[in-house]
């Protein structure tokens, strides 16, 4: 049975992460908002990636299979499981209470790492395990419909040759490698879309520009050009075979990672909006206006009632995030719930931060407080990892039991 109360270990983790956010991220938040594209040197203390001397020896696929066969299977825990998804959401919420852009700048925590984890062979996981990997999906003519990408990959001897343009690549300038989505044959649709690991510095891959943005300015967002970019044959994640209709193909597996990462982005919105709401309540309390959440709405002032409604909306979004993460940890299909959490939290998070700017007047609009920054940061959380409209479309498909071809 689902229990949305955090366990004691998760409560301890939450408190620790809030301490990191308060002591490390908040003090440098404004600095890196103003110094867009500067690398946050202070975050290097959080880099826990294995160094070359720490890398595990790369095992051949055959040896890895033999090793797995000899190991006794792990016993599935009984009862409720709070695993990596719930832990990640708790961590991300607290870090984004500190600063969303800086959280996205943490070294070694790129979206490409999730793709490697989902699709790579054991040998590839060992080889790419220490990379800080970005994900390159979006193109100028391919946004929300990931299946329509036009970047190409063709095999020439022992090398893949990649061509295309990728935009809005988070951490594209700072990462060690980029996981590039490209098609082997446009006529074969989704089945021909594969993901390729392209290490930074590979000839033919160029970081063409870094975007100037409304929010999350501490995080770099790159445009990447691929011009006859050659990578080794075994840098394609998983199998290079095109198996039409096979839901287990690389495209399907990577798409399934969004069922885990969308609640994470929703948790970002929860953390950012909580920061704005808490600070607004603190500022009003300092002026002698304190909200009594035990009073009925009709006995409250308009301002108090507004803050209570915002708190209720925030709590509803938070519970959706916890449910989606819990389902992922407990092996339950959560595609619809992940989209519901992302849609609700993205919309509510942006609405709360903007309303806090209005309620705080000059303090909300000026740079003496971080409220205006949180409002700017929150907008992207309703857009990336699938826009509000795409999330609603996914939910509708699940509710109506229709395919992506039947409901567009």
- What is the DSSP track for 326-354? HHHHTT---HHHHHHHHHHHHHHHHHHHH
pLDDT tens column, 325-379: 999 999 899 999 999 999 999 999 999 999 999 999 999 999 999 999 999 999 9
Q: Which of 258, 296, 265, 298 is nearest to 377 (CA)?
A: 265
Q: What is the DSSP letter of 21?
A: I
Q: How far is the C-alpha of 96 from the C-alpha of 267, rounded, in Å? A: 8
What distance, in Å, lies between the first and last C-alpha atoms of the chain? 35
| Residues linked to residue 222 through DSSP beta bridges, in sequence order | 169, 210
Alpha carbon separation from 281 to 66, 200, 302 (Å, rounded):
59, 45, 14
Structure tokens at 302: 């308009």
Q: Which residues are designated catalytic?
A: 385
The lowest-confidence range among 41-45, 76-80, 284-288 is 76-80
pLDDT at 59: 45
pLDDT of 52 reads 44
Q: Give the orientation angle of helix 8-20 with respect to helix 84-98, to 10 degrees.
A: 30
Q: Which two tokens stand for residue 169?
A: 């690549």
**Residues pairing with 165 in the sheet:** 225
Segment 43-62 mean pLDDT = 60
Distances (CA, A) of 283 to 95, 149, 276: 22, 47, 11
pLDDT tens-digit readout, 135-153: 999 999 987 777 789 999 9
Pick from 322, 332, 326, 343: which is nearest to 394 by CA?
Answer: 343
- Mode of pairing for the β-strands spanning 177-183 and 133-136: parallel
pLDDT at residue number 245: 62
The two structure tokens encoding residue 16: 């620790």
CB atoms within 10 A of CB 295: 12
Among 255-264, 265-274, 338-347, where is mean pLDDT lowest? 255-264
Domains parsed from the chain with CATH numbers: 8-68+77-235 (2.40.110.10), 250-400 (1.20.140.10)
Q: What is the pLDDT of residues 194-237, one digit of tens each?
A: 999 999 999 999 999 999 999 999 999 999 999 999 999 999 99
Report yes or no: 370 and 97 within 8 Å, Cβ to Cβ.
no
Q: Three-class SS string for 284-311?
A: HHHCCCCCCCCCCHHHCCHHHHHHHHHH
């Amino acid at each position: 049975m689902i229990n949305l109360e955090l366990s004691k270990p998760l409560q301890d983790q939450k408190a620790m992460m809030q301490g990191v956010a308060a002591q490390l991220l908040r003090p440098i938040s404004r600095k890196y908002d103003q110094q867009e594209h500067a690398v946050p040197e202070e975050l290097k203390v959080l880099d826990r990636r294995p160094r070359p001397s720490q890398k595990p020896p790369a095992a051949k696929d055959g040896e890895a299979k033999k090793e797995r066969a000899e190991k006794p299977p792990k016993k599935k825990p009984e009862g409720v499981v709070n695993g990596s998804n719930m832990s990640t959401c708790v961590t991300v919420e607290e870090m984004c209470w500190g600063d969303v852009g800086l959280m996205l700048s943490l070294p070694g925590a790129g979206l490409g790492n999730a793709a490697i984890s989902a699709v790579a062979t054991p040998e590839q996981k060992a080889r790419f395990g220490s990379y800080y990997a970005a994900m390159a999906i979006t193109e100028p003519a391919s946004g929300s419909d990931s299946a329509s990408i036009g970047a190409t990959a063709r095999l020439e001897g022992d090398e893949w040759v990649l061509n295309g343009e990728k935009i809005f690549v988070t951490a594209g300038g700072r990462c060690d490698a980029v996981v590039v989505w490209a098609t082997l044959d446009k006529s074969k649709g989704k089945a021909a879309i594969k993901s390729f690991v392209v290490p930074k510095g590979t000839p033919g891959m160029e970081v063409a520009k870094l975007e100037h943005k409304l929010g999350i300015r501490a995080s770099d967002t790159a445009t990447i050009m691929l011009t006859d970019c050659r990578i080794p044959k075994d840098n394609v994640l998983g199998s290079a075979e095109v198996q039409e209709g096979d839901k287990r193909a690389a495209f399907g597996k990577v798409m399934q990672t969004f069922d885990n990462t969308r609640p994470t982005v929703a948790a970002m919105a929860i953390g950012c909006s909580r920061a704005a709401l808490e600070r607004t309540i603190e500022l009003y309390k300092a002026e002698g206006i304190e909200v009594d959440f035990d009073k009925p709405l009709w006995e409250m002032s308009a301002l108090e009632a507004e803050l209570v409604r915002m708190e209720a909306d925030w709590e509803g979004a938070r519970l959706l995030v916890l449910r989606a993460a819990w389902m992922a940890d407990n092996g339950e299909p959560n595609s619809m719930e992940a989209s519901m959490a992302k849609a609700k939290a993205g919309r509510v998070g942006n609405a709360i931060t903007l309303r806090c700017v209005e309620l705080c007047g000059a303090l909300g609009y000026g740079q003496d407080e971080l409220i205006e920054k949180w409002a700017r940061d929150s907008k992207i959380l309703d857009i990336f990892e699938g826009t509000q409209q795409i999330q609603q479309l996914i939910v509708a498909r699940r509710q109506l039991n229709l395919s992506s071809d039947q409901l567009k």
